[in-house]
Structures are given as structure tokens and as C-alpha cells.
């Protein structure tokens, strides 16, 4: 602490006292910073000399492999740099990112330090960092024009590319440094070079939005204004994507073609402007110059689809006013109305409907806009669609109504949506192509509040689907806490549903055992009058014991055996004796007892004592 105090206070006498006491001048902190790093950073020349005289390591590395020389460059202390080099510091040492002292000078515009370094080691002038960038790239990127000029005079290569194929001109264009671009141009830099993605300096200038850079490139180079990168994007695409409306305007006035589509997604600039960016200026500009306003991308989307997807109200209105096809469908049959409904943009939905959007149109999977609004919980949108004539009884390709969609939704608004749909007198008992009603869907998800609402609206608790499943068959398979509540609600509505078997002969309790829902199983068997354990009957004849053993539910199996043993005790002595001797030995249709099922699972060590006892 005393040594650091001496360094930070630039107190040479205190430092010499510390050295005389034998304090280690190479001791570092948790970041690997030595006293010499600090003295060099602050440019304390006497302290630097004293530390080196005391055998401080002149090329010590901190955690990021910065040396004292690089710290001196960071604060532009040329005299300190001279001292360190004269005392043995290596000007070509590099950090973890392979940055040399010259890279650091270029970054912070430490021109005086750079002169000293190159006078002592000119071989590093084009040394790349970890990304392949030489010092000239740093100077160009940070707009240090005097430093760029200095490096060029020292014969730095202006056409060197980094690992991404970028040159110094690309960096200058990207960061809007037109003065650096002019320097590079006047020095004979090849301005036509492209990066690995085939982007020219005009692409980068368009990204930056710097008008001077764009004008300079257009006036002084022969770069094709409609040149496409490897993804098919032109400079106009990049200008629009980055919200550079003024650049977009100057590109168009210089001949940029707004109808060029990207290679993979088929986006023209209008598609991007309509949805992907903030602000309306680029979109308004492109609407005026785009003659085929309904141009579709690779997946069939128009600009209106993107505006509807991202909730761009003003842009949607502008596109509608220009008579863009209001019901244009994508390859999957999605219209702008589907898109706006899917994302809950009610104002846009209203504008679309006022302009003639057809709310009865379906996607390739048969979904209407109401289906999508219902599934995603947008009650206001659903109300708008219904008021505008949407048919609440319309079904998709697998027979689902909007109510089916709402009952399987995880949206926080799903219950409000169900309340609204029920208020429209939507058919509650309508089934899909598999025979499932909305109540089946709600039971499968364990949404017990929804189950209550549907039952109150007239849904049938013992309706069976194509597999013979009632809502109770599904409810008992949901997570345990939900299963128990749902089962109680369904039994309260119709207690006969507990005895309904599916097409394979299984009762709801069989499915509860398979799911391992202990409390639900105990509730169901207590509600049943069977003195003996229920079997699935023909063709499998599986008891609850078989299923519990097969799925390794040891605690549940023990509870079942105890329950039916206790229930057998309520019978007369002869029946009790007969049943007690066979509990746990019931056979399936192939004469296998529960222990066979336990063994088939491979883990019967904890089930075996239960069954044999």
C-alpha cells in the first residue's frame, strides 16, 4: 500500500524509502497491474526510472497482457514511451487481443507516441490484431484523420483486409468519417474492394447515415449503386434498415432501384421500411417511388403484412391509402388481417376491416383471424372481428372453433377471452375432427376455471371423443394439483363420468394411476363403489395394481393395496377371506400378475416387498 501511495502521489522520496525497505516493486494487484503500469499510465518519469532501476519488469503483463509501454500510449505520454523503450521495453509486444502499442496509439490518436514507436520498430505498422485489423483500421474507425495521414506517409497498406474482409475505407464509411474517406481516396486506396459478404463502402456509408460520406462515394467512385451483397441487400436496403431516410432519398435520386429484392427472403426496401424500422419517413418515401406496392416477398408477404405484424399504424394507413391489396395472402394463406389479429393490433384491424378486409378468409391450416386472436388472448381484437361479422362457429381444418383455441391458450387473458366468446353464444359442445370439445381441451390443460365456465355454459361432462376419452380421462393426467381440482369439478357436474370407459376399456382412474397423481387416484377410488380393484376389462384386463407397478409408482401401489384391503373388510367374512387372499395377485388377460409388470420395468427392488407382503 505504501509503494502504491508513493507511485500515485508521484512522491520519489517516499518511493525510494519503500525500495530501501525491500518492498517488492513487481508486486501486482488482482488485475495484474504493477506499480510500473501505474507510473507509465500517469507519465511520472522519475518514478518510472526509479522503478526500473529497482529492477521492475519493464515488460510486465497485466491480466489483459497490457505492458507499461501500452499504458503510456493509452494516455499519450511520448516521453514516457521513450524512457521505456530506451530501458528495454519491447514496442512489438501485444495484448490478449493481439493489439500492439501502435494499435492503441491509433485508437486514442496518440500521434507523438506512435512516432516514437515506429522510429524504433517500423515492422508493426501493418501488424493485425486478433480480428485481422492493422493500426490503420483503428485510426480510420475512430476518425483520427491526422493519424491516418501519418500511417499512410509511413507506408501503411491502405488495402489490407481484416478477417471479415473489411478495409480501412469500410471502417471509415461505417462510422461516418468522410474526411478519412477522402484521405484514403487521395492516397490511392482501392475504393471498390468488398468484404466477405460482398458489401462495398457504399453499403457501409448507407448504414452509418452520414450524408457527406455517401455523397463523396457517389461523386468520386464508380461503385454500382445497386450492388447487392451476398444476401442480396443493396445500399438502399441498408439505409432503410438503419432508419437513414435522408440517405435513402439521395440514393433513390441517384438511381437506386427500389424493386431489387434480397436473395433469400425476397425483401424489397419497402418491406423493411413498412415494419422493421422506427419512423415513417423511409416508408413514405418508398411508397411514393414504388409502383408495384403489393410486391410480395419469397413467403408471399407484402409490405402491409409487415406493418400489421409490427403494429405500424401510420404506415398501415398509408399503404391502405395507396390501395395495396388488402386481402393478399402469403404462401401459407396469411392475410394482413390475420397478421394484425395474431399480434393484437386492434386499431390496424379496424383500419383493415374498414378498407374491405375479409374476416372469413382462412389460412392453409384453416385458421381465421378470430382463431388467432382467440388463441393469443386479444379480447379487444376478437370483439372487433365479431362486431364486423366474423363467424364464431367457423372451424379450422381439424374442426376447432375459436373456443377450442382459447381453451388451449397459455395467454394470461385466456379466461377473459373465454368469457367473451361464451357471451357470443358460440357452440359450446362442438367437437373437432377427433371428437374433442372445448371441455376436453380445457381438461387436458388442467384449466379448472375454464372447465367451470364451460360446464356452466352447458358443456357435457361425459362427452367422449374418438378414443372414448371423457374430459375426466384427460383432466386426471394433468399436473397433480390441477388434476385433483379438475376431477372434483367434473364429478360434481356429472358423477356418472367416473364409470365411463374409453375404447380400450380404461376408466379415468386408470389414467390417473398411470400419471402417478396420488391424491387424484385416492379421490376417485373413494368415489367409486367397487369393493375390488377396478380392471380395464376386455381386452387387457389391467388392474390399477398392474399400471402402478408398470410405471414404478411404489407409494401409490402401497396406498391402493391398503385401500382395497380395508374396503374388503367391510364385506361378509367369506367374501373378505376370498378377496384378501387374492389382493395383489390379480391377473391380466395373459395371466400376468402385477409383479410381472414391476419386473418388466427393470426397477422392482422397492416394489417387490410391497407386492409380496
Q: What is the pLDDT of residues 121-140, one digit of tens each?
A: 999 999 999 999 999 999 99
Flag whether pLDDT at 233 surpasses 90. yes
Best CA proximity match to 336, nearest among 289, 277, 355? 355
Ordered alpha helix ranges (H), 388-432: 402-407, 414-423
- Report residue 606's pLDDT band, with 50, 70 and 90 as the boundaries: low
Percent of the chain with pLDDT over 70: 95
Task: Give the cell for residue 212.
Answer: 457527406
- The pLDDT, as a whole number, for residue 604 is 61
DSSP codes of every residue in 183-215? HHHHTT--TT---TT---HHHHHHHHT-HHHHH
Contact between 332 and 298 under an 8 Å Cβ cutoff? The reply is: no
Flag whether pLDDT at 295 surpasses 60. yes
Percent of the chain with pLDDT over 90: 81
pLDDT, average across residues 580-585: 64
- Report residue 592's pLDDT band, with 50, 70 and 90 as the boundaries: confident
**CB-side neighbour CA atoms (13 Å) of 169:** 29
Contact between 161 and 193 under an 8 Å Cβ cutoff? The reply is: yes
Window from 108-117, 147-156, 537-546 with minimum mean pLDDT: 537-546
DSSP codes of every residue in 446-488? T-HHHHHHHHHTT--TT---TT---HHHHHTTS-HHHHHHHHH
Number of DSSP helices (H) and strands (E) in the chain, helices first: 37, 0
Cα 540 to chain center, whole Å?
A: 47
Across 77-96, b (16+ Cβ under 10 Å) vs e yields bbebbbbbbebebbbebbbe
Flag whether pLDDT at 571 surpasses 70. no
How far apart are alpha carbons 4 and 41 in whole angstroms? 13
- Report residue 291's pLDDT band, with 50, 70 and 90 as the boundaries: confident
pLDDT, average across residues 300-310: 98
Flag whether pLDDT at 11 surpasses 90. no
- Report residue 586's pLDDT band, with 50, 70 and 90 as the boundaries: confident
Strand blocks (E) in 290-387? none
- Can you give the residue ranges of every domain in the chain? 1-124, 530-613
- The pLDDT, as a whole number, for residue 582 is 65
Flag whether pLDDT at 380 surpasses 70. yes
Best CA proximity match to 274, nearest among 285, 260, 289, 266? 285
- Report residue 41's pLDDT band, with 50, 70 and 90 as the boundaries: very high
Reduced to 3 states (helix: H, G, I; strand: E, B; else coil), residue 290 is coil
Q: Provide CATH code, domain 1-124.
A: 1.25.40.20
Residue of higher predicted confidence among 300 and 588? 300
Flag whether pLDDT at 602 surpasses 80. no
- The pLDDT, as a whole number, for residue 1 is 78
- The pLDDT, as a whole number, for residue 23 is 86
Task: Give the cell for residue 588.
Answer: 391380466
- The pLDDT, as a whole number, for residue 578 is 56
- The pLDDT, as a whole number, for residue 98 is 96
Flag whether pLDDT at 283 surpasses 80. yes
Q: What is the pLDDT of residues 471-511, one digit of tens each?
A: 999 999 998 889 999 999 999 999 999 999 999 999 999 99
Task: Give the cell for residue 283.
Answer: 416508408
- The pLDDT, as a whole number, for residue 444 is 94
- Report residue 589's pLDDT band, with 50, 70 and 90 as the boundaries: confident
Reduced to 3 states (helix: H, G, I; strand: E, B; else coil), residue 535 is strand
DSSP assignment, residue 285?
Answer: H
Element (H, E) at 613: none
Cα 416 to chain center, whole Å?
A: 28
Task: Give the cell for residue 262.
Answer: 434480397
Flag whether pLDDT at 566 surpasses 90. no
Flag whether pLDDT at 65 surpasses 90. yes
How far apart are alpha carbons 148 and 158 in whole angstroms? 9
Q: What is the pLDDT of residues 135-161, one digit of tens each?
A: 999 999 999 999 999 999 999 999 999
Task: Give the cell for residue 148.
Answer: 491516418
- The pLDDT, as a whole number, for residue 529 is 83
- The pLDDT, as a whole number, for residue 85 is 97
- The pLDDT, as a whole number, for residue 574 is 60
The pLDDT mean for the chain works out to 93
Contact between 50 and 85 under an 8 Å Cβ cutoff? The reply is: no
Window from 39-43, 442-446, 600-604 with minimum mean pLDDT: 600-604
Q: Which residues pair with 543 in a beta bridge?
A: 535
- Report residue 565's pLDDT band, with 50, 70 and 90 as the boundaries: confident
Residues 6+ apart with CB under 8 A from 504: 467, 468, 536, 539, 540
Residue 601: CB atoms within 10 A of its CB come to 12
- The pLDDT, as a whole number, for residue 611 is 56
Flag whether pLDDT at 608 surpasses 90. no
How far apart are alpha carbons 580 and 585 in whole angstroms? 10
Backbone angles phi, psi at 222, to 5 degrees: -105, 25
Contact between 50 and 16 under an 8 Å Cβ cutoff? The reply is: yes
Q: What is the pLDDT of residues 435-460, one digit of tens each?
A: 999 999 999 999 999 999 999 999 99
Flag whether pLDDT at 554 surpasses 70. yes
Amino acid at each position: 500500500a505504501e509503494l502504491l501511495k508513493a507511485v500515485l502521489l508521484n512522491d520519489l522520496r517516499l518511493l525510494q524509502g519503500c525500495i530501501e525497505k525491500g518492498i517488492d516493486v513487481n508486486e501486482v494487484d488482482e488485475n495484474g497491474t504493477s506499480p510500473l503500469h501505474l507510473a507509465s499510465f500517469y507519465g511520472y518519469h522519475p518514478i518510472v526510472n526509479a522503478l526500473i532501476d529497482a529492477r521492475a519488469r519493464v515488460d510486465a503483463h497485466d491480466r489483459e497482457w497490457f505492458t507499461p509501454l501500452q499504458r503510456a500510449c493509452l494516455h499519450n505520454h511520448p516521453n514516457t514511451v521513450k524512457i521505456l523503450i530506451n530501458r528495454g521495453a519491447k514496442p512489438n509486444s501485444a495484448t490478449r487481443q493481439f493489439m500492439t502499442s501502435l494499435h492503441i496509439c491509433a485508437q486514442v490518436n496518440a500521434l507523438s507516441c506512435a512516432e516514437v514507436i515506429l522510429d524504433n520498430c517500423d515492422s508493426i505498422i501493418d501488424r493485425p490484431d486478433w480480428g485481422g485489423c492493422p493500426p490503420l483500421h483503428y485510426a480510420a474507425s475512430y476518425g483520427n484523420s491526422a493519424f491516418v495521414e501519418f500511417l499512410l506517409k509511413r507506408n501503411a497498406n491502405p488495402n489490407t483486409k481484416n478477417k471479415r474482409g473489411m478495409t480501412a475505407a469500410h471502417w471509415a464509411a461505417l462510422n461516418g468519417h468522410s474526411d478519412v474517406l477522402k484521405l484514403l481516396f487521395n492516397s490511392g486506396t482501392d475504393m471498390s474492394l468488398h468484404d466477405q459478404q460482398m458489401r462495398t463502402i457504399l453499403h457501409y456509408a448507407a448504414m452509418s447515415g452520414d450524408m457527406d460520406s455517401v455523397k463523396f462515394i457517389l461523386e468520386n467512385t464508380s461503385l454500382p449503386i445497386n450492388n447487392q451483397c451476398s444476401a442480396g441487400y443493396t445500399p438502399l436496403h441498408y439505409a432503410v434498415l438503419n432508419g437513414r431516410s435522408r440517405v435513402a432519398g439521395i440514393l433513390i435520386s441517384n438511381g437506386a432501384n427500389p424493386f431489387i429484392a434480397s436473395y433469400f427472403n425476397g425483401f424489397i426496401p419497402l418491406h423493411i421500411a413498412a415494419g422493421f424500422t422506427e419512423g415513417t419517413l423511409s416508408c413514405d418515401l418508398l411508397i411514393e417511388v414504388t409502383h408495384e406496392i403489393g410486391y410480395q416477398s419469397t413467403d408471399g408477404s407484402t409490405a402491409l403484412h409487415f406493418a400489421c405484424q409490427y403494429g405500424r399504424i401510420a404506415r398501415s394507413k398509408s399503404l391502405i391509402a395507396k390501395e395495396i391489396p388488402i386481402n393478399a395472402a402469403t404462401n401459407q394463406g396469411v392475410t394482413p388481417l390475420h397478421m394484425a389479429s395474431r399480434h393484437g393490433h386492434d386499431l390496424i384491424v379496424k383500419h383493415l376491416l374498414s378498407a374491405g378486409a375479409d374476416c372469413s378468409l382462412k389460412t392453409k391450416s384453416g385458421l381465421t383471424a378470430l382463431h388467432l386472436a382467440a388463441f393469443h388472448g386479444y379480447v379487444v381484437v376478437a370483439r372487433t372481428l365479431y362486431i364486423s361479422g366474423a363467424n364464431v362457429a367457423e372451424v379450422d381444418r381439424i374442426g376447432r372453433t375459436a373456443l377450442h383455441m382459447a381453451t388451449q391458450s397459455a395467454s394470461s387473458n385466456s379466461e377473459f377471452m373465454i368469457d367473451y366468446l361464451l357471451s357470443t353464444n358460440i357452440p359450446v359442445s362442438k367437437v373437432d375432427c377427433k371428437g374433442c370439445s372445448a371441455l376436453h381441451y380445457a381438461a387436458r390443460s388442467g384449466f379448472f376455471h375454464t372447465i367451470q365456465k364451460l360446464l356452466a355454459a352447458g358443456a357435457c361432462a361425459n362427452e367422449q371423443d374418438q378414443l372414448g376419452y371423457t374430459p375426466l380421462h384427460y383432466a386426471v393426467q394433468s399436473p397433480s394439483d390441477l388434476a385433483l381440482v379438475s376431477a372434483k369439478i367434473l364429478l360434481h357436474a356429472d358423477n356418472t363420468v367416473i364409470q365411463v370407459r374409453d375404447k380400450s376399456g380404461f376408466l379415468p382412474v386408470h389414467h390417473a394411476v398411470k400419471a402417478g397423481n396420488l391424491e387424484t387416484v385416492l379421490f376417485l377410488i373413494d368415489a367409486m363403489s367397487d369393493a375390488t380393484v377396478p380392471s380395464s376389462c376386455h381386452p387387457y384386463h389391467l388392474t390399477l395394481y398392474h399400471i402402478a407397478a408398470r410405471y414404478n409408482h411404489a407409494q401409490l401401489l402401497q396406498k391402493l393395496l391398503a385401500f382395497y384391503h380395508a374396503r374388503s373388510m367391510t364385506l361378509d367374512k367369506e367374501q373378505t377371506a376370498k378377496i384378501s387372499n387374492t389382493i395383489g395377485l390379480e391377473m391380466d388377460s395373459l395371466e400376468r400378475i402385477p409383479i410381472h409388470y414391476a419386473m418388466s420395468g427393470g426397477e422392482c427392488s422397492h416394489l417387490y416387498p410391497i407386492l409380496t407382503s
